[in-house]
Amino acid sequence: MIRRLLVLALFGTGLAGLVTKRNLIKKAYALAIMNSAIVILFVLEGAAIGSDAPLLGGAGKLFVDPIPQALMLTAIVVGVCVSALALTLAYRLYRHFGTLDIDEIKRRIGHE
């Protein structure tokens, strides 16, 4: 329960940052935090039913669930690529508008 609440706090931090922060790079931080909150949630929940890493060999092992691990593996790698894409887009906007503030960028798009 404590673990779930902490993961919820982590996710909430990310969500609040994504909604309230106007800096585009801060928004990318928030996305990364939300991603890692989900990864931690899945791995911890899947680990609740066992105590051994899912590697065959040796008898009498109680494995954790390998399925969430397999899913989160790809989620981490895809997450870093999403961060990269978000940051290159932010960089492109910065080169064009000279600011990372999303409100400022929106206003200038309206003026152009």
Partner 1 sequence: MIEAILAIVVAASIYAILARDLLHGVIALSVTSVLSASIFFLASAPDVAITEAAVGAGLSTIIFVWAIRNTERTDRS
Partner 2 sequence: MGDTQYGTDGPLVRRGKLLSAATGLAAASLALAVLAPVVMSDVDWPTAARDTIAADGYAATGATNLVSAIYLGYRAFDTLGETIVLLVALAGSVALVASTPGRPDLDRDGGPADSRGPGHTDIINVIAGKLAPIVLLFGTYVMLYGHTSPGGGFQGGVVLASGVIFIAIGRRAGGIGRISPSITAFGPRTLSVIEAIAFATVLALSFPGSGAALAGLIEATGASAGVAAKGVAAVGPIIALNIGIGLKVGSGVALLCVMMLGGDQE
| Interaction site with partner 2 (CB under 8 A) | 1, 4-5, 8, 11-12, 15, 19-20, 41, 45-46, 48-50, 53-57, 63-67, 69-71, 73-74, 76-78, 80-82, 84-85, 88-89, 91-92, 95, 104, 107, 111
105 binds, among partner 2, partner 1, none (CB under 5 to 8 A by kind): none
Q: Which H/E stretch holds residue 84?
A: helix 66-97
Task: Answer yes or no: are the C-beta atoms of 104 and 81 closer than 8 Å.
Answer: no
Task: Answer yes or no: are the C-beta atoms of 51 and 62 closer than 8 Å.
Answer: yes
Cα separation, 12 vs 81, in Å, equals 22
The distance from CA 79 to its chain's CA centroid, rounded to whole angstroms, is: 6
What is the rounded radius of gyration, in angstroms, for the C-alpha atoms of the chain? 19
CB of 106 to partner 1, least distance (A): 13
Site residues for partner 1 per CB under 8 A:
2-3, 6-7, 9-10, 13-14, 16-17, 21-23, 25-26, 28-30, 32-33, 36, 39-40, 43-44, 46-47, 50-54, 64, 69-70, 72-73, 76-77, 79-80, 83-84, 87-88, 90-91, 94, 100-101
